[in-house]
Structure formats: C-alpha cells, structure tokens
Amino acid sequence: MTKLMGTEFIQQFEAYCPQWLAEEGDPVGLHIGTLNKPIKRVMMTLDVRPEVVAEAIEKKIDLLIAKHPPIFRPVSRLTTDTPQQKMYADLLAHNIAVYAAHTNMDIIEDGLNDWFCEALEVVSDSYLTKTHEIPFKKLAVYVPVESAKQMREALANAGAGEQGNYRETSFSSIGTGRFTPVDDAKPTIGQINQAEQVQEAKIEVIFPEPLKETLLQAMFAAHPYEEPTYDLISLDNTPTSYGIGRVGNLKEALSLEAFLDKIKKTFDLEGLRVVIPNQIVDTQSMSVKRVAICGGSGEKFYVDALKHQADVYITGDIYYHTAHDMQTAGLIAIDPGHYIESLCKEKMVEKFNQWKLEKNWPVDFIISETSTNPFSFK
C-alpha cells in the first residue's frame, strides 16, 4: 500500500468503535477538516486544546483523534481573537482533521471502562447501566464466484460479521444465477436479449441494525453487477445489549485505604476526593471487593452502582449536592478526576498499531505528549 486515506482508517475505527453506540446528542465523528485525503501521521489525544494543536502542527499531524469532542456545544462565532477560537483556524490552515469518539468509547467492549478495570485488576461481569439494545439483521447477496472474496472483505470492513469474540463471520453457498439483459442494460456478463447463467456465490452476513446503510453502500461499491440481487432479513435473535460503565470484583478484597492507594498509584495521582457515608467511622476495617466504575462525569449513574451492590463507585467530577445524596444512600464514592481518561491515548495507539501491522498501513501513530489536566494539588 502506497498511501492510507483518512476515510479508510476511520472505516476501520468505526468498525471497532461505531458512532451509533454514542449516547443520544453526543457530537461524535468528524469535527474539523476532511477525511478525503491521504494520512501519514495520526495523533491520539484526550482533549483538543490550543497546546495540543500546537503540538500537532509541530509534528506535522494529518489527523487528530480525540476522546473529547472539540465542539461540544454549538459555536456562535469563529474569530481568532481568543486562543480557543484561533485553534480552529490553525487546524484548518494546517489541514489537520479532527475526529472525536466520546461516549461510544466508554460503551464499546474492549473500551475505556474495560481498560480501567484491567488497570485496577477488577474482573468485570456487567456494565453499570444499559444504554442500547440493538437488533440484528442478515444480508444475503449474490455475486459471481470470482468476486466472492472481494465482497466478503468489503462487508467485513464495513462492520458485518461481528459475533461475540469472533469477527468476519459469513456463510457462502454456490448456485446458478440466471438472467436476461434487456433494453438499456449494461451487463458485466452476457449480451442484450440473450439468456445467461452464471455460477454465483450467495454470501450471508449478520450485522447490527444501525449499520444497514453503511453496509449497503459497501455492498454496492464492491459488487460487479449493474443491478445487484440481495435480501435483507430481520432476525428474531435476542438483541445485543450495550451499557456504559462496568461493575466487577477485585480478585482479593482490600481495605478501603489500600484500595485508595492502589487507585492513586495506578493513575499516578497526588490525591483523591472521597465520599464516605457518615456511618463508616473506620476506613481501615472497611473492606472493598465489588467495584463500579465509569470514566468521565458519571455521577448520575450512582444509583446503578447501588443496584449492583458495589462497595465503591469510581467516577469523575462529582457535584457537591450529588455527593450528599451518595453519602445519605450509604455509597462510598471515589472521584479520581476526569483526567484518568488519558489512559485512552496509550491504549488506542496500541490498537492502531495492531491494525497497522495487520493491514500494512504506511502511517505513524503518535501519543500526544501534552497534558491537558487543568488541576494540580498544592
């Protein structure tokens, strides 16, 4: 491969982290620039701030992947008199595209909340709260046998055939296709007004319903026929559920104090905000086994942590009055700050490099070295 297009990279990215898994109203996807260009250098960042943009310009980045959308609320004016507004102009001037994956990165399997559990040695057994219940469909498409491999690859690259711990699943059967081109037809095989028969493969794949249009576009693009024949079938299989946050157990129970130390060491923190219910007077004797966690600002899910009988709930940006409610409800809550989500930079680049190796991409993936944590302890 001599070049990698931004569209091709994002197609692979969205097969892993689809936009349709984001919470309603979450502005994920392309924010700035275009993906219709070759990319040679891609940088992963938590936030898009002026300092990050300066780093991207210095390192000649073509595409910036961010956890937090740079335009979270509508922009009423685009002036260059303030650093935050000027950075949009700088990105455009240097042809740097910006793509964001936010709550969809929190919800996907093998995503940010799973990585938190892995880092803290929590064996996850459930999501914290359900966000999506997605039905599946089946696509059956008929192609000449010699085009079957190309079609299977196109459908897999568009996200079809993901089943649990398996990917690129499909089924093929061979048969005879018959047709007669008429009038203004431009047949790939055969002649006008002459009956034709061709050995064809029927390729069947299943896919999540929100992928329908993407999958059909991929099918039409890969199909050699002027008029492809295909079936779309709704399935009665149990829908797949997705959820945000994770709940699980430590391999061995720890005292609360030991667990707090573990969190600080794992995420390299100088301190934590901790909500302790009034009835707990001795944190050394308090045992922690079951843990709920949700990266970012997940305070609204604390009731779900209680439902899952979590001993502690870890999330960022706990509001003063919500902390009172947690305290009254008897829940220990730990606020390590929003910035622990920077774990995504290392983990995502690790995944990008895995794809690079598999697909022989001519691209460099870079972890942003700029800290965007606005808080420090004195």
Q: What is the DSSP string of 54-113?
A: HHHHHTT-SEEEESS-S--S--S---SSSHHHHHHHHHHHTT-EEEE--HHHHHSTTSHH
Q: What is the pLDDT of residues 167-224, one digit of tens each?
A: 899 999 999 999 999 988 899 898 999 999 999 999 999 999 999 999 999 999 999 9
Alpha helices in the chain (DSSP H): 6-16, 50-58, 83-93, 103-107, 112-120, 148-157, 212-222, 256-266, 302-307, 320-329, 343-359
pLDDT of residue 340: 98
Mean pLDDT along residues 330-342: 97
Q: Are both 114-130+244-336 and 136-238 of the same fold?
A: no
Q: What is the pLDDT of residues 295-323, one digit of tens each?
A: 999 999 999 999 999 999 999 999 999 99
CA 98/CA 307 separation, integer angstroms: 38
* Res. 366: pLDDT tops 80: yes
pTM above 0.85, yes or no: yes
Mean pLDDT along residues 65-81: 91
How does residue 78 score in pLDDT terms, banded at 50, 70 and 90? confident
Strand partners, 173: 202
Give the pairing of strands 4-5 and 38-39. antiparallel
* Res. 150: pLDDT tops 80: yes
* Res. 279: pLDDT tops 90: no
- Side-chain-facing half-sphere of 206: CA atoms under 13 Å: 17
Mean pLDDT along residues 127-136: 96
* Architecture of the domain spanning 136-238: 2-Layer Sandwich (3.30)
* Res. 284: pLDDT tops 80: no
Is there a contact between 180 and 194 (Cβ–Cβ < 8 Å)? yes
Reading the block at residue 172, the tokens are 């093929």
Mean pLDDT along residues 51-74: 96
How does residue 1 score in pLDDT terms, banded at 50, 70 and 90? low
* Res. 151: pLDDT tops 90: yes
* Architecture of the domain spanning 4-106+342-367: 3-Layer(aba) Sandwich (3.40)
Query: In the chain, what are the domain boundaries?
Result: 4-106+342-367, 114-130+244-336, 136-238
pLDDT of residue 361: 97
* Res. 157: pLDDT tops 90: no
Q: What is the pLDDT of residues 87-104, one digit of tens each?
A: 999 999 999 999 999 999
With respect to CATH, is domain 114-130+244-336 assigned 3.50.50.60? no
Tell me the pLDDT of the chain averaged across its residues.
95
Mean pLDDT along residues 319-343: 97
pLDDT of residue 232: 97
Mean pLDDT along residues 158-167: 87
